[in-house]
């Protein structure tokens, strides 16, 4: 049986994160802190050998991957963007203050994982999207162990 070694990395802090705004599928770039965080994880992973790199198509994830790969000196690797690696689509709540969303959920007594976001996606839709990516990733394995980082 083939083996895959995955390195999962969350993107650095985004401009929306720094302003405490709900982002979901919105596309803000990294904040200064987010760039610094990517540099730090790049330093931590600088000796890892990667065969493939996958990232969502959002700026914050792509920029995080670029910074890490530059630190890693694996310049010949170009990240493959895949929209299935995006965060959950939070619909009409995207761009709103996180405090407003949390307050609404508290009033409704609904955990965020169970809340159905208008014009967004359900937890089941998110899981279907993520599993689809993982299934496709497993189909691309070889007989050698492969290290594939994923930046979302």
36 is in an annotated binding site: no
Token pair listed for 148:
């594939």
42 is in an annotated binding site: no
pLDDT of residue 73: 72
Range of the domain at 17: 4-151
Q: How many domains does the chain have?
A: 1
117 is in an annotated binding site: no
- H or E element at residue 62: helix 59-72
pLDDT of residue 107: 96
pLDDT of residue 145: 53
12 is in an annotated binding site: yes
User: Active-site positions?
Assistant: 11, 87
Residues ≥6 apart with Cβ < 8 Å to 134: none
pLDDT of residue 118: 94
13 is in an annotated binding site: yes
pLDDT of residue 146: 56
16 is in an annotated binding site: yes
pLDDT tens, N- to C-terminus, the chain (152 residues): 567 788 999 999 999 999 999 999 999 999 999 999 999 999 999 988 888 899 999 999 999 999 999 988 766 788 999 999 999 999 999 999 999 999 999 999 999 888 889 999 988 999 999 999 998 988 876 555 555 566 55
Q: Give the phi and the psi of residue 96 in degrees, each rounded to 5.
A: -80, 155
pLDDT of residue 114: 87
Could you tell me if 87 and 23 are in contact, meaning their C-beta atoms sit under 8 angstroms apart? Answer: yes
Could you tell me if 17 and 49 are in contact, meaning their C-beta atoms sit under 8 angstroms apart? Answer: no
Q: What is the CATH number of the domain that holds 137?
A: 3.40.50.1240
pLDDT of residue 133: 95
């Amino acid at each position: 049986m083939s083996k895959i070694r995955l390195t999962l990395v969350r993107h650095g802090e985004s401009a929306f994160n720094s302003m405490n705004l709900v982002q979901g599928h919105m596309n803000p770039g990294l904040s200064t802190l987010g760039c610094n965080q990517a540099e730090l994880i790049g330093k931590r992973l600088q000796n890892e050998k990667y065969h493939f790199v996958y990232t969502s198509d959002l700026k914050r994830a792509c920029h995080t991957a670029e910074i890490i790969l530059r630190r890693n000196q694996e310049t010949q690797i170009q990240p493959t963007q895949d929209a299935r690696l995006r965060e959950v689509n939070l619909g009409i709540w995207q761009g709103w203050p996180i405090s407003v969303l949390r307050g609404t959920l508290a009033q409704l007594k609904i955990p965020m994982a169970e809340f159905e976001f208008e014009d967004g996606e359900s937890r089941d839709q998110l899981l279907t999207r993520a599993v689809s990516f993982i299934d496709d990733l497993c189909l691309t394995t070889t007989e050698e162990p492969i290290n594939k980082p994923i930046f979302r």
